[in-house]
Structure 1
């Protein structure tokens, strides 16, 4: 039995819920109802204190376990808390970085990235112990020893410049997605365009999923030098538009006092128009 690393409940064919029902279901003896409720609260961004508290409590659930020892409810709760944007969840998510379930650690790192949790840097850095040499696949499992991609992206987004010496060697990791995460983080932490160009080069990769990831990474870091490469990438226009939107938002933040719009912003808008 293999547990997927990007488990995301779609909610298709499931009955509609109200916030009150979802909160009640999180206390249900029916594990499937609790699992769906955690997903639902995150999906619909229910930001009430009751929802946040209930999801934080679910991070310590012991009832929902797979045959391989995973904690599906904890995973959904961790993902949901990142979407709700409440810093109250940070201590519980940091604790999740010590969970035996790889996918709980991955979900926690992703949510700590979303929350830009400065206080999580030390715990995230610990997951990079051993460096690239330790970042190998776990025997019999479809993942590495730690969720390096998620951890490195979190450190980059948080702005943990102290982690630069630890992240840089992962530019040479044999797993392309880990390389991409390292390049993304290094650009965020140094603003050196060489790391943005490293991502641009990966857009020539033959794997569609990897090209989608790279387009998203370029948009997320706002690397303006990639605008033409994004527009011409061999991915669906929806991915290109989302990435170009990211570039535009970054540019407008930098040029918020500029009037009229700067040339870079106009160029990106024209590229977006050409894709519609």
Structure 2
């Protein structure tokens, strides 16, 4: 459909027409911004028209950015179509605007694009659906777990995690163990945090030995969310307790945090030892974890750490000592 200025009676929009049709792309781009500032629905047609037809990628991208506030089916469809634009600048702007949508009803417009031939389009569609938390996206996301493109699988995993699709736990555990892409495995480890059952703990413990530290880090974090008191014993040795000796401090930090969250008493000695680590972030997390344990046997080590050179560590030590004091009967 061709936009027709002659059908308008808005003098502010008509005054912008010469600049909107100027031969200079920069002039047209600034005019689009001025048009959007009017916040008049009559200007919406020109924005969508320029998104699809302006010869300059910079103008098309600006139109995509300006359309983020309009949650109308015609606009969302135009943004989805812009995902196929050959210029990355335009595709990225359209994808960003779609990811900012809040009206779940727009999910029905986006959903068909999850099966588009272009992997970039499929990725962006799933990302937008994730933010909408549209339950209608669950079936498409389950199918996309076998997508040949890692980026699509990663976005589909995120959708299932946000939607808390527990029927996908088995498949997500399989991806965590076997997917060739690091980021897919990492996303799967995070998505398993929707579980409230011990069934995913073996897969997460196994992931603590993944070749990629990013996956091990995510698995350590998720274990702190899903493992309850009854599962804590399974986390010793090759589990979270073993992860305290990981070669990457980022993994050790997350394992420390999770052991504290689980109040895993068997970690007391290892956490006290971590209070001496050269990395201050680890010392801080160890202090906080000892506070969560509430064991008075940690008081001596914590009191010694009150002289730590890092103020954040000293603050964590004060918090931990207060927690232990509150936990010990007077």
Aligned counterpart, 2:107? 19
Over the aligned positions, Cα root-mean-square deviation in angstroms equals: 4.3
Aligned match of 2:225: 157
* 1:1-276 correspondence runs (5 A): 11-14=95-98, 18-46=106-134, 48=135, 50-62=136-148, 64=149, 71-97=150-176, 98-129=178-209, 143-144=212-213, 147-159=215-227, 160-161=231-232, 162-166=234-238, 167-192=240-265, 194=268, 205=280, 223=292, 233=312
Name 2:4's counterpart in structure 1. none
| Contact map agreement 2:169 2:192 (CA 8 A) in 1 | yes
Instruction: Determine the C-alpha separation between the residues in 1 that align with 2:205 and 2:248.
Output: 19
- Asked if the contact 2:115/2:122 (under 8 Å) is kept, the reply is yes
Is the 2:153–2:184 contact (alpha carbons within 8 Å) kept by the matching residues of 1?
Answer: yes
Q: TM-score, normalised by structure 2?
A: 0.49
Equivalent residues, number: 202
1:156, distance to aligned residue in structure 2 (A): 2.5
In the alignment, the residues of structure 1 paired with residue 156 and residue 197 of structure 2 have an alpha-carbon distance, to the nearest angstrom, of 17
Q: Looking at secondary structure, tell me which structure has more helix per residue.
A: 2
Separation (CA, whole Å) in 1 of partners of 2:163 and 2:272? 33
SS in 1 for 2:235: helix
1:117-164 deviations in whole A, cap 9, x for unaligned?
5322222233345xxxxx66xxxxxx44x7111112222321132122
TM-fit CA distance, 1:223: 4.3
CA deviation digits over 1:158-204, x for unaligned, max 9? 11321222221221223111111111222233344958888888897
Change (3 A) 1:13 1:202: farther
How far did residue 93 of structure 1 move? 1.0
Bigger relative contact order, structure 1 or 2 (CA pairs below 8 A, ≥6 apart): 1
